[in-house]
Amino acid sequence: MCSAPLESTEFPAAPDRIQVEAHRNGADVKPYGRGLTADQDEGVLLVERCLQLAEAAVLRSARAQIEHGARAIIVCDPAANTVYLSPRQMRAGADTFERYVLGPNCRVCKFLEDAGLDLIFHNCGELLTEMVRQFAVELRPAVLSLGSSRKLWEDAAVVPKDIVLYGNLPTKTFYSDSAMPLMEVQRRTEELVAPMRECGHPHILGSECDVLHVPEAAATIREKVRVMLRI
């Protein structure tokens, strides 16, 4: 079960190590994500309000899908990545990942669990292995779908065996024969399938995210999907 905070209004302020260090070095840094609460900072308040609205929209959608017989729901949170969440800040103790990613997702996860639904969790952003581990052990999705930058056979080491890994061929670039030639699709597929079989982790071979549709490249995209699924 989730160990991240479940109440969005009661996040404790973490020791502000980064800010103190930056101040000592004479740097002018913004305090976002350094343990300040919404009561203390307008920027944090804005982020938390936006997240609350987003969470309400997600729960409303989930409720409607459950009413219509859904048995599993896919939650996609690719913005929870190392572009928006600084690995340096996280290593130094910032709690942004817990506050803004695990917290809201844990509440959604609990809602689905209480309703008896499976969670399929998707994140095709650039991730730290620790993020992958926490998505797995905190959210406990039935299926974890990751982007093509991840080596799934390595991630398998931090993902419990009862969570199916899904992915992760680079389908966003299938439209381009220069960026992703057919032979490269074949090579990447073989490179993925062999170690996944070897490590024995439950795995569904598939896309990293959407199979990006580009009308004028429809034929080459279809051919690459065919090659990907043939193996």
For residues 192 and 148, is the Cβ–Cβ distance under 8 A?
no
CB of 209 to Zn ion, least distance (A): 3
For residues 70 and 60, is the Cβ–Cβ distance under 8 A?
no
CB of 68 to Zn ion, least distance (A): 24
CB of 45 to Zn ion, least distance (A): 29
Its sign, for the CA torsion 31, 34, 36, 42, is positive
Q: 94 or 169, CB closer to Zn ion? A: 169
What is the torsion angle, in degrees rounded to the nearest 10, for the CA atoms of residue 17, residue 18, residue 19 and residue 25?
110
Angle value at C-alpha 103, between 55 and 72, nearest 5 degrees: 60
The answer to whether residue 127 forms part of the interface with Zn ion (CB under 5 A) is no
Sequential DSSP letters for 88-124: HHHHTT--HHIIIIIHHHHHHHHHHHHTTPEEEEEE-
Binding mask 42-81 for Zn ion (x = CB under 5 A): ------------------------------------x---
CB of 207 to Zn ion, least distance (A): 9
Q: 44 or 132, CB closer to Zn ion? A: 132
Closest of 207, 214, 180, 220 to residue 74, by C-alpha: 207
The answer to whether residue 124 forms part of the interface with Zn ion (CB under 5 A) is yes
Closest of 139, 75, 140 to residue 102, by C-alpha: 139
The answer to whether residue 2 forms part of the interface with Zn ion (CB under 5 A) is no
Among 37-45, 169-177, 192-200, 202-210, which window interacts with Zn ion (CB under 5 A)? 202-210
CB of 198 to Zn ion, least distance (A): 26
The answer to whether residue 209 forms part of the interface with Zn ion (CB under 5 A) is yes
Interface ranges with Zn ion (CB under 5 A): 78, 124, 209
